[in-house]
Structure 1
Amino acid sequence: MSASKPTILITGVTGQIGGDTLRQLRDDPTITLVAAVRSLDKAQSFDQQGIRTVTLDFDKEETLRPALEGIDRVLLVTGYTVDMLRQSKAFLDQAHQAGVSHIVHLGACGRDDTTVAHWAWHQLVERYIEWLGFSFTHLRPETFMQNLLSYGGTKVVQNGLIKQYVGGARLSWVDAEDVALVAAQALIHPERHMSKTYRLGYDAKSYDEIAHVMTQVLGKPFRYEAQAPEIFLEAMQNAGADMAYMHCVYDHYKRYAAYAIPGADEVFDNFPAITGLAATKWEAFVTKHRASFDY
């Protein structure tokens, strides 16, 4: 491992945050970038870009240590299932043995005292990272604006109608591309961002308010129709999703709708200091993705 040119491993490269972080770092000459892929087939597109790949499958523990050899810093992005707890522990144990120094962990929403189950799972991973003695940066993004583009492969906004499951609650929102910008900075400059927990949410709005923004920006009517959380649960069951995780999502939708999640609409002012940029607000997001929302 080289102190002058650190090697950074990005997991989740075929997903939103991992992929965006990889793109942010791709042309940085001060680092060696490595993309973790589950199979050789998935490596081809990265090979074509000149990005080194390693095979890493969170469900195949024998792939972890070889993938981590020579790695200095890691963006850890795990899947949205209860298996993330086992997967993260196994990965972190091997990263510790391999001499990885800094972990940037993509977590979830919430205050330290949250009892929303899948948010708390991520906080348990945070504590394990600290217990093993890594230098760390914990990222806690609030609700992704991209969730209105699609969720579970299904288009969310259709012909001006938004159907969601949180009643009239206001949520704190963040553009996933902004999360990737923060992750990139934490990976390039760990000395600036070590021992930090960054909550990332920069625009608080209800779905009714988002529909109003869409109407104003796109010049066509948009409206929100609140759905019972049970409809979501049934859809996830029919889709064959991991129901241990989706029951947690169902529960937190019910809590949102009952205004029973403290700080659900909290927003933060850390983004300019971390990135030197202004965080994305809903007006800019709708403008950027107008082709997806327009009808």
Structure 2
Amino acid sequence: MLKTPKPKILITGATGQVGSKTIEFLLSNKEIEIVAAVRSKEKAIPFEAKGISTVMLDFDDEGTYPTAFEGIDRVLIVTGYTVDMLRQSKALLDSAKNAGVKHVVHLGACGRDDTTVAHWAWHQLIERYIEWSGFSYTHLRPETFMQNLLSYGGKKAIENGVIHAYVKGARLSWVDVDDVALVASIALASPELHTGKTYRLGYDAKTFTELAQLMTAIIGKPFFYEPLAPEVFLQSMIDAGAEMAYMGCVYDHWKRYANGSIPGADDTFDNFPEITGQEPTKWINFIEKHKSEFAY
């Protein structure tokens, strides 16, 4: 009897937070083959040391797409924080379609279907293109990552117990990156159970003041929230030479959080146990888990 080949799953963003953790969750599954997309031979080395296949894939070089998708059945698409994500995603999906990829798990952004927050809406346009292209799909819409309080933009997010953010007293919905990756891994491993689904992922709503109080109680040192004007963020991005087509959208959404004009900013959901058979991470668990990183 001929052996059926294992489905091959391509993980883009393999070196990032969600992609790398998704690979970790999939490693124990012997019914699939993982392929990590990387941009250089150096980045391939840690994966190959674990016995994980790699392919070269550069979102800005469409010539790398066809080879990367050879023999791939399912793909996790994780794009970067730039307006180029729109062009990259379309080209990537077209190449995946030509290669015969069947199931797409797309890491999107927060928001209800009628969102007008620009970079969230871009992700929803990509969702529609995935559907229009005829893929089996699972859309993931994570709320704000809890890990943003560990570091944001490559910098520590909390200095000597002081939390800075640009949203005044807004209550946000939060999710642990590990929980997002677990859902991604499950949707990739069993697409037949998760096809056609849009999973909004946010399980604990807190203001930054409430987070400071919780950290103070758990860690035993004082934490404080000092809100900054969104204009401080905007100027820092300009000074850093960031791509402003995207960062201008981020600035706008900080302003909208701060003035309370984003509907459902604190929406939370009860879908995690049904998807995973587990309870989602709440802030009290997250702070306990990362106590040493928050301590000062």
TM-score by length of 1: 0.98
Q: What SS does the aligned partner of 1:65 have? A: helix
Whole-Å Cα distance in 2 between the matches of residues 8 and 57 of structure 1?
17
Whole-Å Cα distance in 2 between the matches of residues 284 and 37 of structure 1?
32
Query: What is the aligned partner in structure 1 of residue 191 from structure 2?
Result: 190
Is 1:10 the counterpart of 2:11 in the alignment?
yes
Whole-Å Cα distance in 2 between the matches of residues 181 and 93 of structure 1?
27
In structure 2, runs of 5+ residues without a counterpart are none
The 10-residue stretch of structure 1 (195-204 or 23-32) with the greater mean CA deviation from structure 2:
23-32
Q: What one-letter code is carried by the residue in structure 2 that aligns with 1:77? A: V
Deviation, structure 1 residue 240: 2.2
Give % identity: 67
Q: What one-letter code is carried by the residue in structure 2 that aligns with 1:16? A: Q
Deviation, structure 1 residue 75: 0.4
Whole-Å Cα distance in 2 between the matches of residues 157 and 283 of structure 1?
17
Query: What is the aligned partner in structure 2 of residue 226 from structure 1?
Result: 227
Query: What is the aligned partner in structure 2 of residue 73 from structure 1?
Result: 74
Whole-Å Cα distance in 1 between the matches of residues 29 and 239 of structure 2?
44
For residues 182-220 of structure 1, the C-alpha deviation after alignment (integer angstroms, 9 at most, x for no partner) is: 000000010110000000000000000111110111011
Whole-Å Cα distance in 2 between the matches of residues 233 and 149 of structure 1?
21
Query: What is the aligned partner in structure 2 of residue 98 from structure 1?
Result: 99
Q: How does 1:230-249 map to 2 (within 5 A)?
A: 230-249=231-250
Query: What is the aligned partner in structure 1 of residue 273 from structure 2?
Result: 272
Whole-Å Cα distance in 1 between the matches of residues 199 and 240 of structure 2?
33
User: Is the contact made by 1:214 and 1:286 (CA closer than 8 Å) also made in structure 2?
Assistant: yes
Whole-Å Cα distance in 2 between the matches of residues 32 and 255 of structure 1?
43
Deviation, structure 1 residue 292: 1.3
Q: How does 1:199-210 map to 2 (within 5 A)?
A: 199-210=200-211
Change (3 A) 1:232 1:3: farther
Deviation, structure 1 residue 261: 0.2
Q: What one-letter code is carried by the residue in structure 2 that aligns with 1:196? A: K
Whole-Å Cα distance in 1 between the matches of residues 139 and 243 of structure 2?
25
Whole-Å Cα distance in 1 between the matches of residues 129 and 290 of structure 2?
38
Query: What is the aligned partner in structure 2 of residue 38 from structure 1?
Result: 39
Deviation, structure 1 residue 27: 2.3
Deviation, structure 1 residue 268: 0.1
Deviation, structure 1 residue 4: 5.4
Q: What SS does the aligned partner of 1:224 have? A: strand
Deviation, structure 1 residue 3: 5.7
Deviation, structure 1 residue 26: 1.5
Q: What one-letter code is carried by the residue in structure 1 that aligns with 2:116? A: T
Instruction: State how many pairs are aligned.
Output: 294
Query: What is the aligned partner in structure 2 of residue 123 from structure 1?
Result: 124
- In the TM superposition, structure 1's runs of 4+ consecutive aligned residues that sit over 4 Å from their partners are none
The 10-residue stretch of structure 1 (57-66 or 233-242) with the greater mean CA deviation from structure 2:
233-242
